[in-house]
Amino acid sequence: MREFHDAAIEKNLTILNEIGLDPGIDHLYAVKTINEVHEADGEIISFISYCGGLPAPECSNNPLGYKFSWSSRGVLLALRNSAKFYQDGKIVEIPGTELMSSAKPYFIYPAFAFLCYANRDSTPFKEYYNIPEAQNIVRGTLRYQGFTDFVKVLVKIGLLDDSNQNYLHFNSPEITWREVIAKVLNTSNNTEDELRKAIKSTIAENEISKDEIERILKGFKWLGLFSDKPIRRCGTLLDTLCATLEEKMQYEEGERDMVILQHKFEIKLKDGTRETWTSTLLEYGKPPGPSAMSTLVGIPCGIAVQLILDGVIKKRGVLAPYTPEIINPIIAELEKEGIKVKEEKL
């Protein structure tokens, strides 16, 4: 998209990207704080940002603690992405196969049990956010505890494979999940007990606790992965799994979603003292009205469009909300809509 910048200027166009939630609201409050620190001659030593679109705690009633409000395929494919970020001044890279193993607990409020993991490539934000001094830069994802171990097992046995499988073609003979799991595990015995043993054998000793493995296997059963009922065949293991997840893990009527976003800044002030600042946003959906996700994606986008039409945002080209002339008026309008990030100095 950035390649069209000069052409957009020539045609007197403003093409503003990354103005939903993440990316979007996250940029606004990252740049706001960074600018405040720099204007006071301070430095950003560390910038850590995590965001999660999740079911509200009382609606997280399935083995993954997750429900789909958008493409299940998109969600699962993102779990295979590699990650890249700055840690102690050095670039760290995590291959997609190890992403779930890299997850660690992340504390925001005592009532939530979150895990976090890095999301794709965070390294360009040293330039985008103008923080060349930062030693740590991580942008990532939040999920409830239990999610990453469950996904780790799905990956281990090959259920996120997106290559075509003849036995999953829609014209192929009927097949059950029990038979599919036996195929991916390369075992001729497809009884539930044998499949459970075969799955356990793929997990290295001490990689996942015994109690957690049992919870995951119960989750497999809840999803119907040991069932002898014919499944909907979708060509690949990934897409066939998506069809099952979408059937079992949709939001029900009256259920609400939740969005939580937190930036954590480690700051060195002009006098050399160090402080931790946070910017936290917590929003719940309002059934039967809008979800938290639709509110926090749609309203910033709508505000940005109106500000461009009103001539408040005048700059032309392919833009992102990284500069005061873009972020300040959007933040002001967001607060009028009741969307406000809680900023604290710890």
Residues 6+ apart with CB under 8 A from 159: 184, 237, 238, 241
Q: CA-to-CA distance for 107 and 105, rounded, in angstroms?
A: 7
Nearest Cα neighbor of 148 from 113, 104, 195, 107 is: 104
Nearest Cα neighbor of 327 from 36, 9, 3, 11 is: 36
Say if CB 71 and CB 227 are below 8 A apart.
no
Q: CA-to-CA distance for 270 and 222, rounded, in angstroms?
A: 56
Give the Å distances, CA to CA, from 86 to 32, 128, 277: 21, 14, 19
Instruction: Say if strands 136-144 and 114-118 run parallel, antiparallel, or are unpaired.
Output: antiparallel
SS (H, E, C) 1-25: CHHHHHHHHHCCCEEECCCEECCEH
Give the Å distances, CA to CA, from 194 to 67, 153, 167, 323: 29, 16, 21, 58
Active site residue 271: no
**Active-site residue, selected from the candidate residues 6, 22, 121, 228:** 22
Dihedral sign, CA of 15, 16, 18, 19?
Answer: negative
Structure tokens at 134: 């930062």
Nearest Cα neighbor of 259 from 286, 222, 289, 225 is: 286
155-156-162 Cα angle (round to 5):
45
Active site residues: 22
